[in-house]
Structure 1
């Protein structure tokens, strides 16, 4: 009898079911459907084998070919109906993986189930025939089989169409796995349709389920190997179920902060100890984010509230014993986030934007979500501005007291909105420093300033240097000086026209890379300056060691110089130190005639501020230079 492939399929599904049942699983809607699909697949294959035996028995014990008994008729049609149900169930399983609402999912499944019932009824009513040679070839055929093929192909086609529609909104492995499922069913059904003696459809179903198990439903792929807890991708799928069902949930997030010098053995032991505790909390599911963070999800906000203080107490004790630290956050209304992605973004920013309670637990608030959304929108605005060339340098003139002329300027970044208005730098610079976009902006500012120096005739207007601000991230780039100096050579612009500004914060981040870049700039003829001196991590040893030409007095010191005797003493000392180190001093934030007179009396070398001019767009800056050019 030709039942070898069916028996192989049954064995394969039994093995899958064994491994599937013995592993711990998170309560996902798709997983429940997959478990049912395994049972349906087994029933389908068993009915396939039983139908072959029934046909053979009918042939051996008095039935006539082409006129099957009522029992054989029912058994064969039950197999066909089960086969059609498997195709329907594959489509229903697919809907649980797609980003549709639960209401939409229910409507789709009910409509498709009605179509299945229609197909099952027609299959049961129309006649069926079969053939057997009495030994190794047995199969059914006729109108009932054709109806089954048509309806099964219908479900395979709409499964394929749904996957194509949502392919950009689901992970690639879901798309590939569901297409593989469709191909397994379609190819084996097509082969059996043209060669009915090859009973491959049942085995094709088992093979498709095997692919789904390996790629999507294998519990092992949902488990983090270090901790034995559910991993981050499983957390995303689990929470998406809450969004689909429009259900509220709560969660507690605990992040362990260990010493960077900790050994891998110590780190693993700490993570396992924490996982053993968090993973055994009742009425919850615990997930590990892969970066020392544990997310404990509760369906009941009351249960979560009761556990937050207990976890905080246990975590304090645990971390004291291990000599480590931790952050704990508590969210009673998980649905305040627009999506799982927003939850993960917020958790990633807790240490920066966290609002702590009296017990040192970060309590999620509406304002935290609002800040996150504002930052995300601004990051998108910056991304679009970069793509659409809306990053502009504005230039604030710098006045030389010795030459009585505007011999320099500072290039300050601005973003022009699509409507022509300007985004204030305070709104986007902190965001770009978090996202890393500041490096792209820095490169754009350099290239546009380089173009102005080359083509704007600045040297003829008395300009001797333009200040370019370097971000912390730029300072950490070992290739920065090589790239910029190469572009100066290609543009035939003398390096002396550039002065690169760093902040005191940049000096303490990656000092080796910073020194390499600044030394290369200085060796090529560029100038370097220390910005906002007196308003950061001031360390005179750093100033002595840095290859700089200028220091810029912080704006707050300039404005308070005439008001505070202490500030006056500090300014006097700073200028004395600068002169002793052969450094030039630039006073920023000079806004009044009183400020100007005070700075000139201190013998400040350069003055910058609104007293002379606000930062100007390129064309207005050129006009300013022409208007204020010193005549011989």
Structure 2
């Protein structure tokens, strides 16, 4: 009998099924549909073999023709069912779209109608040596249905390939291509029964390319990987399946060189999580894990258990931090889950609970981040200049450059809306670079200098100084725009650790030799501390707006500022009072003895064109 290829395919699938059942499983819709198609393929192969045996016995040994026809119909019914299961599996990536639901319902209707026709239509069979096949209206209907599902799968794969992983597209084309090639060979060589074997081989291809769980297992711990978490989260969010989960960072405070200790510590953490229950556990970082539960109550209970275990570790210093997500619906999908973890992972709190307010804050910060990125890309970062009045000369001899962002509709975004976010995520460096370049471009025109401006102040970050080429960023721009270094004053604000402070001093020394001057910004806010005040070779000290305004509201601040004026002048430095808004405040600062006045009393920060016009009106 001509059943060798079918038996070969059947043995392959059964062996693979045993391995599949023994492996660690990630319960996602994708896998469930694959298993349905896989098992249907096995049953279809069994009935293919049984139908050939029945035909052989009916032709040569008088076996019941009725039972033979029933078995033949069962085989082709299963063949169509396999095609339908394959369709559902293939189109899983677009299965929840509204436009696809109608197609799915129509396809289900075609499948049911086809199966009914196969049941009611007649079927017959033929066997002559190794040549064996079923024929008749029922068989023709089955072949049409199989061709229909293969065609639909190919069409949908081509149409939606941009919405599918490239690897999945290739695997689906290979799978369906094997079916088509086998069907064509069998059509021309009827004694070569390849279709069932090709179907089995195609399932093996799918398994190896798309469904192999070993690709989602962390080799060290045996837990699921971060890629597996993305797949799992995507599946549960796609089908609106609510859940709760938490992440745990169990950080063992041992030197990075102690690799064996760190490995054993990670393995200890993994073992502890495995003892909590059967829920899926993911290792998503060197020392971070994620565990997903169906109920928030169980999730929180297990979080407390693992926290108690971590707190009880005494042989190795350990730091445990948790982010608890009681309601998955607060977040829109895997991307927001990872964004939330990224935003709050560095929190000083042991346990962060994901709430609606925190999610809104994260979304706002993400929106601002994208807004800044787009503004940098589209050159919508602009500089406004706030004139600084020199009391000794009675004119405006300097200005501070302040960053602004213009929306696509032309309106300005208030600096308070984006600067704190930029400072936290590091974008302030790129903004500072862009501002400095625009300041250099304005100075290169020579217009501010002709109108009495001696220098323009711009903020600089320690991170903008390059380790290998000290002061390279500033020096390169000064040389590129051919401006006098004396026209540049850099404002330093942040406190650096000893290593960065040493680097900063090296850069400052080189720039000072070039002619660049420095100001210590935000004095009085805590951002510029006493250590900086003593050690930084700055020319100016800038009293922050809150410090200046405090002079008129708090007697202690008034006494401090009086003393600071004397100290600063004794150190041969100048003082800029920021935030001066009224004539009375101006008179008080002049009486106090400051050297420069900056604030709305004279002008708000204004665009370059208005700044030049202001200087023409005020200094000429």
Both proteins in one fold, TM over 0.5: yes
Residues in 2 aligned to 1:141 and 1:524: alpha-carbon distance in whole angstroms: 94
Partner of 1:186: 180
Residues in 2 aligned to 1:516 and 1:47: alpha-carbon distance in whole angstroms: 82
Residues in 1 aligned to 2:222 and 2:281: alpha-carbon distance in whole angstroms: 10
Q: How far apart are 1:590 and its partner, in Å?
A: 2.7
Partner of 1:115: 110
- Asked whether the equivalents of residues 386 and 603 of structure 2 are also in contact (C-alpha less than 8 Å), the reply is yes
Partner of 2:576: 586
**What CA deviation, in whole Å up to 9, does each residue of 1:176-223 have, x standing for no partner?**
433443333334334444444443322332233223222332222222
Q: How far apart are 1:44 and its partner, in Å?
A: 2.3
Residues in 2 aligned to 1:268 and 1:317: alpha-carbon distance in whole angstroms: 19
Residues in 1 aligned to 2:124 and 2:189: alpha-carbon distance in whole angstroms: 17
SS in 2 for 1:349: helix
Aligned: 1:625 with 2:615: yes
Residues in 2 aligned to 1:184 and 1:348: alpha-carbon distance in whole angstroms: 44
Q: How far apart are 1:347 and its partner, in Å?
A: 2.3
Question: What is the Cα-based RMSD across aligned positions, in Å?
Answer: 3.6
Residues in 2 aligned to 1:507 and 1:474: alpha-carbon distance in whole angstroms: 15
Partner of 2:404: 414
Partner of 1:608: 598
Q: How far apart are 1:626 and its partner, in Å?
A: 1.0
Partner of 1:273: 268
Name which of 90, 94, 117 aligns with 2:90. 94
SS in 2 for 1:406: strand
Name which of 300, 308, 313 aligns with 2:295. 300
Alignment CA distance shift 1:352-1:512 (3 Å): same
Residues in 2 aligned to 1:99 and 1:526: alpha-carbon distance in whole angstroms: 63
- Asked whether the equivalents of residues 478 and 513 of structure 1 are also in contact (C-alpha less than 8 Å), the reply is no
SS in 1 for 2:247: strand
208-217 or 53-62, which deviates more: 53-62
Residues in 2 aligned to 1:569 and 1:608: alpha-carbon distance in whole angstroms: 21
- Asked whether the equivalents of residues 504 and 536 of structure 1 are also in contact (C-alpha less than 8 Å), the reply is no
**What CA deviation, in whole Å up to 9, does each residue of 1:284-314 have, x standing for no partner?**
3332222422222221233334434333333
Aligned: 1:333 with 2:327: yes
TM-score (norm 2): 0.87
- Asked whether the equivalents of residues 387 and 400 of structure 2 are also in contact (C-alpha less than 8 Å), the reply is yes
420-429 or 465-474, which deviates more: 465-474
**Total equivalences in the alignment:** 618
Residues in 2 aligned to 1:447 and 1:576: alpha-carbon distance in whole angstroms: 36
- Asked whether the equivalents of residues 353 and 368 of structure 1 are also in contact (C-alpha less than 8 Å), the reply is no
Aligned: 1:238 with 2:232: yes
- Asked whether the equivalents of residues 149 and 189 of structure 1 are also in contact (C-alpha less than 8 Å), the reply is no
Name which of 79, 82, 85 aligns with 2:78. 82
Q: How far apart are 1:62 and its partner, in Å?
A: 7.7
Alignment CA distance shift 1:388-1:70 (3 Å): same
8-17 or 92-101, which deviates more: 92-101
Q: How far apart are 1:277 and its partner, in Å?
A: 1.8
Alignment CA distance shift 1:258-1:479 (3 Å): farther
Alignment CA distance shift 1:259-1:404 (3 Å): farther
SS in 2 for 1:408: strand
Residues in 1 aligned to 2:27 and 2:99: alpha-carbon distance in whole angstroms: 21
Residues in 1 aligned to 2:414 and 2:577: alpha-carbon distance in whole angstroms: 22
Q: How far apart are 1:140 and its partner, in Å?
A: 5.5
What residue ranges of structure 2 are gaps of 5+ in the alignment? Answer: none
What residue ranges of structure 1 are gaps of 5+ in the alignment? Answer: none
Residues in 1 aligned to 2:254 and 2:576: alpha-carbon distance in whole angstroms: 40
TM-score (norm 1): 0.85
Alignment CA distance shift 1:290-1:391 (3 Å): same
Residues in 2 aligned to 1:369 and 1:196: alpha-carbon distance in whole angstroms: 63
Name which of 297, 312, 319 aligns with 1:317. 312
Superposition pairs of residues 354-433 of structure 1, within 5 angstroms: 361-433=351-423
Partner of 1:36: 36
Q: How far apart are 1:78 and its partner, in Å?
A: 3.3
Alignment CA distance shift 1:392-1:196 (3 Å): farther
SS in 1 for 2:399: strand
Superposition pairs of residues 193-204 of structure 1, within 5 angstroms: 193-204=187-198
Residues in 2 aligned to 1:163 and 1:480: alpha-carbon distance in whole angstroms: 55
- Asked whether the equivalents of residues 243 and 296 of structure 2 are also in contact (C-alpha less than 8 Å), the reply is yes
- Asked whether the equivalents of residues 517 and 539 of structure 2 are also in contact (C-alpha less than 8 Å), the reply is yes
- Asked whether the equivalents of residues 401 and 458 of structure 2 are also in contact (C-alpha less than 8 Å), the reply is yes
Alignment CA distance shift 1:282-1:171 (3 Å): same
- Asked whether the equivalents of residues 405 and 412 of structure 2 are also in contact (C-alpha less than 8 Å), the reply is yes
Alignment CA distance shift 1:257-1:475 (3 Å): farther
- Asked whether the equivalents of residues 5 and 200 of structure 1 are also in contact (C-alpha less than 8 Å), the reply is yes
Alignment CA distance shift 1:24-1:564 (3 Å): same
Residues in 1 aligned to 2:223 and 2:166: alpha-carbon distance in whole angstroms: 24
Aligned: 1:445 with 2:435: yes
**What CA deviation, in whole Å up to 9, does each residue of 1:86-132 have, x standing for no partner?**
2211121234444617x998876554333223333444525455564
- Asked whether the equivalents of residues 478 and 516 of structure 1 are also in contact (C-alpha less than 8 Å), the reply is no
